Amino acid sequence: MVILPAIDLKDGQAVRLTEGLMQTAKIYSNEPYEVAKRFQELGSEWLHVVDLNGAFKGEPENLEQIKKIRNNTDLKIELGGGVRDEDTIKMYLDLGVDRVILGSVALKDPEFVKKMAQKYKHKIALGIDAKDGYVAVQGWAQVSQKKAVDFAKEFQNTDIEVIIATDISKDGTLSGINIAFVKEIQEASGLDVIASGGVKDINDIKIAVNNEIYGIIIGKAFYEGTIDLKEAFKLVKER
């Protein structure tokens, strides 16, 4: 299993939100790249980055901080938030981002996402963010009529290899992951799924490992000190 520590960018700072609400933003660092360096020191191979401003605006908004993270670490970076066209995908890949997450655009134009995955292969991932089981887009500000599980099914037998599945009601709450939701997405799509939202402590890592989940994102649990990342990496290695 892969552990991906997370950095959410808002106005150039590393923040965490609660249930995706921008007004709940809590600032943890004015220099996000330093947080990324710390993740690398603790043993991380991957980093999950979200451009929160970009997610709302529909175009990149924290480019300078993303460049700093790329230039100051050897981490593999997956990035989402505000990626709506191929030019933005190419720009991020040229910067050295390893995997670009397509979320809002996937609901609007699933064929575009399938085409990008066919062209860029493992460098494209699908983001499915759900509120009460329904897909939410535009920085989670809009909830669609599309069920997340039905949406996941649409990407069976495509070039998409990885889905990042977020239960918005769990995000930033430290209330434990929604393993049932993650497994539903995994079974519906037949793809590798990275669980996002709600991680509290080492028990959530054990749950994900025991359920053979491909990956898990750790955000607020690290920043609030409810999980020891070194212990989490050690557990995954041993399994």
Q: Which two tokens stand for residue 135?
A: 């897909």
pLDDT at 139 over 80: no
- Whether the Cβ atoms of residue 18 and residue 172 lie closer than 8 Å to each other: yes
**Long-range contacts of 108-116, Cβ-Cβ distance < 8 Å, separation of 24 or more:** 108/137, 110/154, 110/155, 113/155, 113/160, 114/155, 114/158, 114/159, 114/160, 116/86, 116/89
DSSP SS3 for 156: coil
> Each residue of 49-61: pLDDT tens digit?
999 999 989 999 9
Q: Which two tokens stand for residue 36?
A: 């990324």
Local confidence band at 140 (pLDDT 50, 70, 90 cut-offs): confident
* Summary mean pLDDT of the chain: 96
Q: What is the C-alpha to C-alpha distance for residues 212 and 197, in angstroms, rounded to an integer?
A: 17
- Whether the Cβ atoms of residue 10 and residue 25 lie closer than 8 Å to each other: yes
CATH of the domain at 224: 3.20.20.70
Q: Which two tokens stand for residue 125?
A: 């991932």
Please report the pLDDT score of residue 188 as a whole number: 97
Catalytic residue among 8, 51, 167, 204: 8
Q: Per-residue pLDDT averaged across 194-202, rounded? A: 97
pLDDT at 141 over 80: no
Please report the pLDDT score of residue 239 as a whole number: 82
8 in catalytic set: yes
Catalytic residue among 85, 94, 129, 192: 129
DSSP SS3 for 15: strand
Instruction: Name residues whose C-beta falls within 8 Å of residue 187's C-beta, 6 or more positions apart in sequence.
Output: none
Among left, alpha and beta (phi > 0; psi -120 to 50; other), residue 226 is alpha
228 in catalytic set: no
What is the domain count for the chain? 1
Q: What is the C-alpha to C-alpha distance for residues 72 and 61, in angstroms, rounded to an integer?
A: 19
> Each residue of 107-124: pLDDT tens digit?
999 999 999 999 999 999
Residue range of the domain that includes 184:
2-238
- Whether the Cβ atoms of residue 19 and residue 6 lie closer than 8 Å to each other: no
